[in-house]
Structure 1
């Protein structure tokens, strides 16, 4: 059978998509390759040898930069933001299922921070803490700054989820004598669990990689994005590329774990409905 001929538009779009992929992943690929430079390697091509020297160097005490401390702060901050985003988004999604007074202004207020420049949010929160006589630190002021970024996304996701949720499942559970808590625990939660995992993934990754909203609100202790930015001006070895490779692989690992959890929860939910 003759293959269908593709028009000029197909090849133009294919070329555009190829350029987009190269633009998106080209810099990451370059950093990944250069992180395997030999001990005498530099920051640019051509490569001078091939080794794991700079990855081993990450485990040593650095003359410049605090890899371990900044990573720990970013990781803990990401977990705090993730948990808070999931809980608040779930509660807000449940609350907005029924109309109440002030729902519309509250909704627009909640998502308004998405259109405010990130650096202004960071600056405003940092100034607020100073006016109140409090020292901006990563686990308080930066935590609040990150929530202004993650919560709107979590709210929008949960609103979309509950907009498509079939209330017949809840009605059937109540007809069988289930309480409100039992209905939520055994019916609603298993069905929306994949979406909650997605909200958690959004919350963690957005917080873990956030720079602008952290800049003025982190205080004297840097998170990992701030530490990497500060090191770009005084680190002249591929150890910075090795750090970028490790943190990128860590982020990819978190995403793969979340996708696996979504797959398992969806499979369990299908079994629950079928059985």
Structure 2
């Protein structure tokens, strides 16, 4: 076996440092969340316990944390469903060239490069100046869509750019209507991409701070509530909250990956059964 070049070890060390930089803060917060009852926000730890997790579940200790958590879940689901629906519709529309499609595409992408706080300020001013109520379910919802829709549309553009139209032609030759072709042919084929768009939509909404800051109104979402806690909470209960929200985010990702895995296995099984039927 040939010895590895020195560049391999240099790049390995660089990658290890990068991973430490990326996940080190999260791991540190996770460790400090298990401080003993007399522990503070820094090392050294004063014992090990789950005291701060128990304290977290006392409503008066953390203000409206559970209400903000519920609002973030509802808002994330709203954004997820809208992002998936509009992204699929947009992807289907852009399969055919139409007048102004290039300009419309760049207008969509522009939302990604405009500073998020300016989007939040603009949407908040628009609602207030037109007499509409600034609320997380209206103005906050709209502001977050300017963040999630471009990602969803870019994914759908890439998917439909590689989509084999012969599957649709075969379905139409067999007498399928446009709706039947979409429902029974197109959507099952692009299902993994739809799961990815849904994951993007929910997680980007759930974690979004800047575009919600001036559009949430009187009620905070979870990121805003956590930010508010940093100014008045001086105990590891803040770290306990961070640990739980991180675990929740990982659980959501796990759920979406499981759904994608089950879907792939079902499609593989269906294809295998179809092949046996032909033989």
Match of 2:9 in 1: 11
Deviations 1:142-201 (A, max 9, x none): 111100000000000000001111111111111111111111111111110110010000
Match of 2:277 in 1: none
Structure 1: which 4+ aligned runs deviate by more than 4 Å?
A: none
* CA drift at 1:63: 4.1
* CA drift at 1:217: 1.0
Match of 1:156 in 2: 154
* CA drift at 1:269: 2.6
1:230 is aligned, of 228, 231, 234, to: 228
Task: Give the alignment's TM-score, normalised by structure 1.
Answer: 0.96
Match of 1:134 in 2: 132
Q: Distance in 1 between matches of 2:237 and 2:29?
A: 11
Task: Give the alignment's TM-score, normalised by structure 2.
Answer: 0.95
Q: Does residue 255 in structure 1 map to residue 253 in structure 2? A: yes
Q: Does residue 84 in structure 1 map to residue 82 in structure 2? A: yes
Deviations 1:17-47 (A, max 9, x none): 0110000111101110111112221111111
Q: Distance in 1 between matches of 2:41 and 2:60?
A: 17
Match of 1:58 in 2: 56
The number of residue pairs the alignment matches comes to: 273
Match of 1:93 in 2: 91
Q: Distance in 1 between matches of 2:3 and 2:240?
A: 46
Greater helix share, 1 or 2? 2
Whether the 8 Å contact between 1:209 and 1:225 is mirrored in structure 2 is: yes
- Unpaired stretches in structure 2, ≥5 consecutive residues: 275-279
Deviates more, 1:182-191 or 1:78-87: 182-191
* CA drift at 1:59: 1.4
Match of 1:186 in 2: 184
Q: Distance in 1 between matches of 2:48 and 2:134?
A: 43
Q: Distance in 2 between matches of 1:138 and 1:144?
A: 9
Aligned pairs for 1:93-132 (under 5 A) are: 93-132=91-130
Q: Distance in 2 between matches of 1:217 and 1:22?
A: 35
Q: Distance in 1 between matches of 2:63 and 2:43?
A: 24
Deviations 1:45-104 (A, max 9, x none): 111121111111121122453110110111111000000000000011111111122211
RMSD: 1.1
Whether the 8 Å contact between 1:70 and 1:223 is mirrored in structure 2 is: yes
- Unpaired stretches in structure 1, ≥5 consecutive residues: none
1:207 is aligned, of 205, 208, 211, to: 205
* CA drift at 1:273: 4.0
1:34 is aligned, of 28, 32, 35, to: 32
Match of 1:243 in 2: 241
* CA drift at 1:135: 2.4
Q: Secondary structure of the equivalent of 1:207?
A: helix
